Amino acid sequence: MKGNIIKYAQDNIDTDVIIPGQYLKVHDYAELATHAMEGLDPDFHSKVKEGDFILSGKNFGCGSSREHAPIALSHSGIKAVLALSFARIFYRNAVDGAFLLPIEIEQDAYDEISEGDEIDIDVSANEIKNLTKNRTYKMKPFSDIIGKIIAAGGLFKYRPDQD
């Protein structure tokens, strides 16, 4: 899966900046997408392209359980968020709703990957290739159940009895 990076070099990007509380009443996915990241980067909607990835620091998606957060990012075109770590509910929502891949990266990838770099994510090899800088990084493998839910295409398509 290839895409370009939009980088936010900070920790604790919370759900209130990913999709501010005033939009929680909105359940139209296209409209939500126009407000994605509004609390942090008002230019996000004009710069994001289909297939882009976000790269950020620790505890991405902390705060609210609002599924609007991965929905807004996903419908903006974001296919994966690469972060040093994720907040629990954001991570779960991203996977169970099959909105985007939450990829836990190591410090070297966080430090070296820059805004605009083209990245190739190889989930089966647990590798991230930086095509722009010709470097390869390890990503943390998905835990067993997360990998299975992703492979199935979301929680509703996952059949635990067929494991």
What is the contact surface with another protein in residues (CB under 8 A)?
12, 14, 16-17, 20-22, 24-27, 39-40, 58-59, 62-68, 85, 87-89, 92-93, 96-97, 143-145, 154-156, 160
Buried-state track 98-108, b at ≥16 Cβ within 10 A, e below 16? bbbbbbbbeee
Q: How far is CA 72 from the centre of its chain?
A: 11
Q: How far is Cα of residue 32 from the mean position of the Cα atoms in its chain?
A: 16
Q: How far is 3 from 52, CA to CA, in rounded Å? A: 5
> How near is the Cβ of 92 to another protein at its closest, in Å?
7
We find the least distance from the C-beta atom of residue 83 to another protein, in angstroms, to be: 11
Closer Cβ to another protein, 24 or 125, answer by number: 24
Q: How far is the CB of 70 from another protein (least distance, A)?
A: 8
Minimum separation from the CB atom of position 119 to another protein (A): 24
Task: Identify which of residues 27 and 49 has a Cβ nearer to another protein in the complex.
Answer: 27
CB atoms within 10 A of CB 119: 24
Residue 122's SS3 state is strand
